[in-house]
Amino acid sequence: MKNKTFLLLKWLISALLVVHIVLPLLALVSHISVEDIQTVFLSEQFLPMLWNTFLSAFITTVVSVGIALLLAWCVNRTKLRGKGVLTVLFTLPMLIPSISHGMGLTLLFGDNGFFTNLTGINIHLYGLTGIVIGATLYSFPMAFLMLTNIFQYEDYTVYEVADVLGFSKMDQFLKITLPNLKKPLISAIFAVFTMVFTDYGVPLVVGGKMTTLPVYMYREVIGLLDYSKGGIIGVILLVPAVIAFFVDLLNKENGAAGTVIKSYEIRENKSRDAFAKIVCGVTLVLISLPIITFAILSLVKQYPVDLSFTLDNMKESAALGIGGYLLNSLFISLTAALIGTGIAYYAAFVTARSEKRISSMALHLISLMSLSIPGIVLGLSYVLLFKSTFVYGTLIILVSVNIVHFFSSPYLMAYNSLLKFDHNLENVALSLGIGKVRMLLDVYLPSTQETLLEMYSYIFVNSMVTISAVSFLANFRNMPLALLIPQFDSQSLIEPIAFISIIILLVNILMKTIVYVLKREFCAR
């Protein structure tokens, strides 16, 4: 009797996930016509677009993961000061929409950009160059976060043995460090490739004549309302994500956790630390330039004609209704984070703390599915499934799509945390007549408060910056703030775009600060 509530919630959450993850994908496939498949695949522009998308994603992945690996090494294998601050600063590009990075690059390195006018050097931003630079800016922080924690779990005794055997530092890195990083490195490579392959924000702004599949999909659906062709491109964009999903599952299942006998000892090495300071310093300058540019641009009269100080841009932005759109974003992000955290945590509780039955395994698989669904594909799928329902065109559907879009990562946070508890706890509780829900409320929730805060923060921040998942679903009444950026870009309203990007950044920094303070409070108890 005591577990009836547990089972009821389990099946309710399972049904919700099926409706909001599985059914939208089926709706996407069902709206594709055979004639349009032939039209898309046989068109002259399809192969060039596919090549452009693959090439830009491939180059960006190599550059982005390489930078992330180097920075992770600098933070974890040198004696730099303020490593915690550096880790936070390296993730700042994640706190603004990807399209803002494209705008920042245009303002800096475009034909009429600050750097171009100042030096007379034109890097010919528009095209492959701009896409790779912009995509690297917003994708490397994710790879950095995936790699940096792994360094902390390396056993130093292996390196001591290597020193005794006469292995050089380079040999140790190639033969010990890289093999230890193999699994997270593979995950980071697929994650970055999938993110760049499916993004339309940066290519839309700096792509120039180089059209990618996501941009084509965006124009077909938004501009021409051609859902069939949009669905075809959506399925194509789903392919690398699905491959990444299954590779990641195999990667995790075959992984065996190692035991850290001795923590890594960092020895004195001035040349190494000097190199790390240069790398980190250059990186901080480069990722700060777009943000600084936005801050300056939001306070000038008219770029590039009149660069005198003014607050008119803030007044103009307020007149354009930015306040209302900010409230929309806050409502969507706060609500999606609250509900999403609750659902993801309970789903993780069911799968991590229950017997491995078919129903629990199926729930685990469905919970991980959103990892393999690009935001632009998910948004179109929601249009096709819910366009005739009462939730279409409301804030409810925007909250829902954000929960699903960012569901898997918080779910995995909770799942991994709950797996750390002794597996006999449920048996002890059962013998004492304590139900599963009571165990959840009295044991697991109080013990995983920090994880809950991280889950909430993750969904909130990503809901504030996302454009792809909501671009097909929003209208002028429920539009989130980030969606004004592509709209203002089409109207050449550069100063308001800069102001919007700064607002989103400040809101996300505030949320991160609140989470940091709360976590310190919990640790102090």
- Give me the pLDDT at residue 482, please: 92
For each of the chain's 525 residues, which pLDDT tens digit applies? Answer: 456 777 788 888 888 899 998 899 898 888 888 888 888 898 889 999 999 999 999 999 999 999 999 999 898 888 888 887 888 889 888 888 888 888 888 888 988 888 888 888 888 899 999 999 999 998 998 888 878 766 766 666 677 677 677 777 777 777 777 777 777 788 788 888 988 988 888 998 899 889 999 988 888 776 777 878 888 888 888 888 778 767 766 765 444 444 445 566 677 888 888 999 999 999 999 998 888 888 888 777 776 666 677 777 777 777 778 889 999 999 999 999 999 999 999 998 888 887 777 777 888 888 877 876 888 889 889 998 998 899 998 999 999 999 999 998 888 888 878 877 777 776 776 777 777 778 888 888 888 888 899 899 999 999 999 988 898 899 888 999 999 888 887 777 787 888 888 999 999 999 988 988 888 777 666
CA 162-164-168 angle, to 5 degrees, is 50
Q: How far apart are CA 242 and CA 248, in angstroms?
A: 10
> Within a 10 A sphere around the Cβ of 117, how many other Cβ atoms?
11
The CA distance from 408 to 415, in Å, is: 10
Return the H-helix or E-strand segment holding 308.
strand 306-309
CA-derived radius of gyration, the chain: 24
Unique residue bearing structure tokens 């920042």: 104
HEC string of 347-387 equals: HHHHHHCCCCCHHHHHHHHHHHHHHHCCHHHHHHHHHHHHC
3-state secondary structure of 300: strand
> Is residue 229 within 8 Å of residue 36, measured between CB atoms?
yes
3-state secondary structure at position 262: coil
Start-end of CATH 1.10.3720.10 domains in the chain: 1-30+310-525, 32-297
Tell how far CA 332 is from the center of its chain.
17
Amino acid identity of 75? V
Identity of residue 456: Y
- What is the rounded CA–CA span in Å between residue 251 and residue 246? 8
**Side-chain half-sphere CA neighbours of 1 within 13 A:** 1
- Whose tokens are 């999938």? That residue is 194
Residue 63's H or E segment, with its range, is: helix 46-76
Kindly report the number of other CB atoms within 10 A of residue 322's CB atom.
Answer: 19
Structure tokens at 413: 């946070």
Answer for the pair 193, 372: CB distance below 8 angstroms, yes or no.
no
* Cα 33 to the center of its chain, rounded Å: 32
> pLDDT at position 460, please?
96
If we measure between CA atoms, which residue out of 188, 494, 460 comes closest to residue 331? 460
Q: Tell me the C-alpha distance between 153 and 407, whole Å.
A: 26
CA distances from 371 to 105, 208, 470, 508 (A): 29, 30, 17, 22
For residues 331, 332, 337 and 339, what is the CA-based torsion angle, rounded to 10 degrees? 90
Confidence at residue 257, expressed as pLDDT on a 0 to 100 scale:
45
Max Cα separation, the chain?
77
* 10, 350 Cβ separation under 8 angstroms: yes
32-297: in CATH 1.10.3720.10: yes
Q: Report the alpha-carbon distance of residue 157 to residue 177 in Å, rounded.
A: 13
CB count within 10 Å of CB 492 equals 7
Classify domain 1-30+310-525 at the CATH topology level: MetI-like fold (1.10.3720)
pLDDT tens track for 413-447: 888 788 777 777 767 767 777 777 788 888 888 88
* Pairwise CA distance, residues 415 & 428, whole Å: 21
pLDDT digits (tens, 9 = 90+) for 166-199: 777 777 777 777 777 777 788 788 888 988 988 8
Q: What is the pLDDT of residue 284?
A: 93
Q: What pLDDT is attached to residue 262?
A: 56
Q: How many other CB atoms are there within 10 angstroms of residue 317's CB atom?
A: 24
Measured CA to CA, the distance from residue 245 to residue 472 in angstroms comes to 25
**CA-closest candidate to residue 372, choices 227, 223, 234:** 234
Identify the bridge partners of residue 300 per DSSP, sorted by sequence position.
309
pLDDT at 256: 42
Beta-strand runs (E) in 310-354: none
How would you classify residue 32: left for phi > 0, otherwise alpha for psi between -120 and 50, otherwise beta? beta
For residues 306 and 300, give the distance between their C-alpha atoms in angstroms, rounded to a whole number: 7
Beta bridge partners of 306: 302
What is the per-residue pLDDT for 255? Answer: 42
Token pair in block for residue 156: 């130093």
Say if residues 1 and 434 touch (Cβ distance below 8 Å). Answer: no
Residue whose token pair is 């946070």: 413
